[in-house]
Amino acid sequence: MKDEKTKFVSLYSQFYEKFFSGTADAVELLADLQRDYSEEYNLIKNFNKDVDAMEEFIDNLPEDKQAILLKIFLKANKFGKDMVNLFDSTEQEKRDLATNLKKFASELKNEFEKDIRLAGLFSSNISDIKIACSKESLIIKSKNSDKGEIETIIPAVLKNDPFEISVNYHYLLDGLKIIDSEKVLLEFTGNGNPVIVKPNDNKELTYLIMPLRS
């Protein structure tokens, strides 16, 4: 009986370790958004108080970004209510919630992959795209003299110095396909060295991409 209680406490502490660790990363990103995009942040935070301004903001977004933002509003509201009642929910309700959270996180990750594929349409014959990471965002851009150029911006958290690299977008997509995680880490270790792609929650899985020469 004592062993069972000890095991329970160990697993219970693991739940909070995972919960707090993931929440800490999310809160840190939210703080960065508040600092670097204060106008947009306040608009989103008070979207129900200024409907006209919110409609104008959404109307100026590309259609795919409009859809994902509206979906986030709906899902965040529902998931928030489910999380408040988490301990009172049944075992099956908890498992269903976990499944739905993972499914929606995967949909958001697919937005990143979609932006890479879109940039790939404008890449050259060597399938190159440029990734520039600054303190508040990751910029994906490509340019082709025949097709034109494109640039997309993705919110990101930068831990060290800003960097810019060129990679083959096919190889980057291949790496993302094997990473089953809602958050992806890109590690730049210096010019000429491989770019490391890995999930945020699995230190054992790594995928290496050799950058292209500029």
Is the pLDDT confidence value at 165 over 70? yes
Domain boundaries, the chain: 61-214
* CA atoms within 13 A of residue 56's CA, in its CB half-sphere: 6
pLDDT per residue as tens digits for the range 130-161: 998 887 778 899 988 888 888 888 777 777 78
Chain center to CA of 56 = 25
Give the per-residue pLDDT at 142: 92
pLDDT of residue 214: 62
128-133, strands of its sheet edge to edge: 148-155, 137-144, 128-133, 163-168
- pLDDT score, position 97: 92
pLDDT (average), residues 29-54: 83
Position 86 scores a pLDDT of 92
pLDDT at residue 96 is higher than 90: yes
CATH number attached to the domain at 61-214: 3.10.150.10
Alpha-carbon distance of 141 to 115, in angstroms, equals 9
**Percent of the chain scoring above 90 in pLDDT:** 15
Average confidence (pLDDT) over 7-25: 86
Q: Are 151 and 141 in contact (CB under 8 A)?
A: yes
Indicate if the pLDDT at residue 55 is higher than 70.
yes
Report percent pLDDT > 70 for the chain.
97
Q: Give the predicted TM-score (pTM) of the model.
A: 0.60
Q: pLDDT digit string (tens) for 180-194?
A: 776 788 888 887 788
